[in-house]
Amino acid sequence: MSSAWKLARAEAERLKAIHLRDLFVADPERFKKFSRQTDGLTADFSKEKIDEDALNALLALADEAGVTAKRYAMFAGERINLTEDRAVLHVAARDPEGGYDVSGADEVAPTLERFLNFAEGVRSGAVAASDGKPFTDVVSIGIGGSDLGPAMAVRALVPYADGPNVHFIANVDGADFADTTRKLDPARTLVIVQSKTFTTQETMTNAQSARNWLAALLGEEGANAHLAAVSTNLEATAEFGVSPDRVFGFWDWIGGRYSIWSAIGLPLAIAIGAEDFRAFLAGGRAMDVHFRSAPLADNIPMLMGLIGVWRRNLMGATSVAVIPYDERLARFPAYLQQLTMESNGKRVRRDGLPVEHATCPVVWGEPGTNAQHSFFQLLHQGTDVIPVDFLLAAEPHEALSDHHAKLTANCLAQSKALAFGKTIDEVRTEMAASGVAEDKIGKLAPHRTFPGDRPSTTLVYRKLDPATLGHLIALYEHKTFVEAAIWDINAFDQWGVELGKALAKSLLPMVEGKSSEGEDASTAGLLKTLKDLRS
């Protein structure tokens, strides 16, 4: 174990014995010392189990891991995705004039202009259906990064969505397609197929069903006027019937889970328009500038990444809850699941040797206040300590009496309760003051005691607008990068999804009725059970 890791572990062992209550008593200036601001975003780390010595140890860990050099390599366009021999420059997609040194960078600005012009055409009716009338609905078909990003962002920016209604289909389960299209009119619907290779099994199965759905009413030629695609496989898109002027590409240095900034964001651009989409890009770009230029001790993505390592490796957390007190960020935890767990769910280092430390925790969550009435019981009184990221807007979009005041009070109360808890003596005193009999107090007090000492970070922003959403996404992208740099893993491949895909392809003929001879006993037994149930 390196000297930096030994120092960080020593600081962690020291702090494990100190309750968050005592840290606040010892230092009333914790918020001032452990919060940071940039471009209207405040990150409050004061309820994390850190102090100045621990923070210095984490910064030493970043220095030892060469995080700054790795950050420079990414922005310089070096091929840091070594298993696929690719650069990692999703940042270029949100900075079309950035002059990045990578093949295809000069195509970013014209591609952005093309798909934004197309989006405006759909919104205005200049890009029309086969009968010359405007589209009222858009169906985006993709999966993974081609779905999670646009679907999350369209939901988040509903107040800015003044274009056609945008819907999403991802699951190969026919229920997803059927439920999404049930109330749509093919004559008024544009279908966007989102697949870089145009070969992804789930996406192309849904795409073929969508084409059949269109053609049943409009005919084959009419269906073509209702198709667009985001793909680099021009031969396949042409064969599918998509006109070349309705195909928009992106580059191998933009991974799927980072592709919302590229033409994969077309559904979002159709929903909110070109101007707001550019504001979304600008928000991400502002976070890039902060990440590249702010000193490490004041760098919010850097600190979030280091605290992520602190939580996972030094405090032993196996999962992290992301709780947006912002209903329109309902899909944000799911988006972060892919971003962080597909990126950092790795067991070997960049050199192929086993990792020396635990890597990515499980990421999960739901919006508050709903979550308070479900799994928050576990967060407060469960046997595992689960750190939480809270997200909160200062201003709502809807001026509905005191809704937002109550929402805000709940968010602040939850982070306070997790940190400070309620001791058994406090419970007993409170119950006695309420006139509860002593014998009943003895029985109930343990059940009403909250241990506290449960860490959280709170992110506060003015309002959830396009720039703020871009800011938040880029923040978590860079946080994930920092964690990977500390663990020395490749955050930009995803070989873990490939084996299941290959096995599904080989099993499909058996599911459809061919012999399962040679399969393991469980798979063969399940195939037979399914066959028996169908018959």
129-150 in b/e form (b: 16+ CB < 10 A) is bbeeeebebbbbbbbbbbbbbb
The tokens describing 143, both together, are 């999966």
Q: Quick one: DSSP state of residue 232?
A: S
Q: Which residue has the tokens 């002593």?
A: 438
Domain 3-65+294-420+454-493 shares a fold with domain 498-534: no
The tokens describing 257, both together, are 């889970």
Residue among 342, 346, 404, 477 flagged as catalytic: 342
The tokens describing 88, both together, are 């990692």
Per-residue pLDDT at 513: 86
Domain residue ranges of the chain, discontinuous segments joined by + = 3-65+294-420+454-493, 93-276, 421-447, 498-534
Residue among 32, 373, 443, 447 flagged as catalytic: 373
CB 451 within 8 A of CB 384: no
Query: Is the bond preceding residue 423 a cis peptide, omega within 30 degrees?
Result: no
Residue among 6, 406, 501, 528 flagged as catalytic: 501
Terminal C-alpha separation, the chain:
60
pLDDT digits (tens), the chain, 535 positions: 799 999 999 999 999 999 999 999 999 999 999 999 999 999 999 999 999 999 999 999 999 999 999 999 999 999 999 999 999 999 999 999 998 989 999 999 999 999 999 999 999 999 999 999 999 999 999 999 999 999 999 999 999 999 999 999 999 999 999 999 999 999 999 999 999 999 999 999 999 999 999 999 999 999 999 999 999 999 999 999 999 999 999 999 999 999 999 999 999 999 999 999 999 999 999 999 999 999 999 999 999 999 999 999 999 999 999 999 999 999 999 999 999 999 999 999 999 999 999 999 999 999 999 999 999 999 999 999 999 999 999 999 998 999 999 999 999 999 999 999 999 999 999 999 999 999 999 999 999 999 999 999 999 999 999 999 999 999 999 999 999 999 999 999 999 988 888 899 899 999 998 887 889 999 999 999 999 999 8
Q: Quick one: DSSP state of residue 127?
A: S
Q: How far apart are CA 467 and CA 41, in angstroms?
A: 11
342 catalytic residue (yes or no): yes
Of 97, 109, 119, residue with least CA distance to 164: 119
226 catalytic residue (yes or no): no
Q: How far apart are CA 55 and CA 68, in angstroms?
A: 17
Q: Quick one: DSSP state of residue 408?
A: H
Q: How far apart are CA 208 and CA 220, in angstroms?
A: 12
Q: What is the pairing mode between strands 35-38 and 41-44?
A: antiparallel
pTM for the structure as a whole? 0.96
Q: How far apart are CA 532 and CA 309, in angstroms?
A: 49
Q: CATH classification of 498-534, choosing from 1.10.860, 1.10.1390, 2.60.120, 1.10.3470? A: 1.10.1390
373 catalytic residue (yes or no): yes
- Reduced to 3 states (helix: H, G, I; strand: E, B; else coil), residue 489 is coil
Per-residue pLDDT at 9: 97
> How many of the other CB atoms lie within 10 Å of CB of 276?
20
- Reduced to 3 states (helix: H, G, I; strand: E, B; else coil), residue 492 is coil
Of 108, 163, 111, 164, residue with least CA distance to 136: 164
What is the CATH number that goes with domain 3-65+294-420+454-493? Answer: 3.40.50.10490
What ranges in 261-323 are assigned the alpha helix state H? 266-272, 274-293, 300-309
- Reduced to 3 states (helix: H, G, I; strand: E, B; else coil), residue 209 is helix
- Reduced to 3 states (helix: H, G, I; strand: E, B; else coil), residue 391 is strand
Q: How far apart are CA 207 and CA 204, in angstroms?
A: 5
According to CATH, the topology of domain 93-276 is Rossmann fold (3.40.50)
